[in-house]
């Protein structure tokens, strides 16, 4: 069942990115970028998720496009004094080989733990800015209570997302 685990991991990551983009779009719409600490930790989260996805994406093939490797090498080598050793450290030498893949696998395993810590910090800043009531409902009895409507809406969204993931993974795993 390795194909199933691999397909769930890859397709789940793609759906995770869709959820992240929707989350960012909602934040832009509601002006959440005004809460600088919360927004900046969110940007850090996005970069870490992208880094985790990148090192995970390179793993199955054991290689990457020459264009991608060239861009990364050029960006890193432009750093004064540190560029050359940084390039050698990232690639494990001047080529993508077993040392690089081992390093990327380690990063792909460890970065989610760093992501969890940053998510906690993101939630801490979110709580400090009073975002436990993000749509600003007053506690009037004539309003829709929080629990039934929003809980069922979120459960339905999670069910649709998981159903989509399962259908995609089981019927077209390598789409």
Instruction: Judge contact between 151 and 63, C-beta under 8 A.
Output: no
- What are the DSSP calls for 132-152, one per residue? TSTT-----TTSPPHHHHHHH
Q: Provide the CA 86 distance to its chain's centre, in angstroms.
A: 24
Once rounded to an integer, what is the mean pLDDT over residues 168-172? 90
Distance of alpha carbon 135 from alpha carbon 93, whole angstroms: 51
Which residue shows structure tokens 């093939």?
61
Contacts 24+ apart (CB under 8 A), 122-127: 122/38, 122/41, 122/42, 122/45, 125/35, 125/37, 125/38, 125/41, 126/35, 126/38
Distance of alpha carbon 135 from alpha carbon 153, whole angstroms: 15
Full-prediction pTM beyond 0.75?
no
* Signed CA dihedral, 6, 9, 12, 13: sign only: negative
Confidence category of residue 77, pLDDT binned at 50, 70, 90: confident
pLDDT value for 59: 66
Domain ranges of the chain: 31-132
Architecture of domain 31-132: Up-down Bundle (1.20)
Tens of pLDDT, residues 83-104: 888 888 777 766 556 667 777 7
């Amino acid at each position: 069942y390795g194909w199933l685990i691999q397909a769930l991991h890859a397709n789940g990551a793609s759906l995770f990115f869709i959820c992240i983009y929707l989350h960012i779009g909602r934040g832009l719409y509601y002006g959440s970028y005004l809460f600088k600490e919360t927004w900046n930790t969110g940007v850090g989260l996005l970069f870490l998720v992208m880094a985790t996805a990148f090192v995970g994406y390179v793993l199955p093939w054991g290689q990457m496009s020459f264009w991608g490797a060239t861009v990364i090498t050029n960006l890193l080598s432009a750093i004064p004094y540190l560029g050359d050793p940084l390039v050698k450290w990232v690639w494990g030498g001047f080529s993508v080989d077993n040392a690089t893949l081992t390093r990327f696998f380690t990063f792909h395993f460890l970065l989610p733990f760093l992501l969890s810590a940053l998510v906690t910090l993101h939630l801490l800043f979110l709580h400090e800015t009073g975002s436990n009531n993000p749509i600003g409902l007053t506690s009037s009895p004539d309003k829709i209570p929080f629990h039934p409507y929003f809980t069922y809406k979120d459960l339905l969204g999670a069910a649709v997302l998981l159903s989509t993931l399962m259908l995609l993974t089981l019927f077209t795993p390598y789409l």
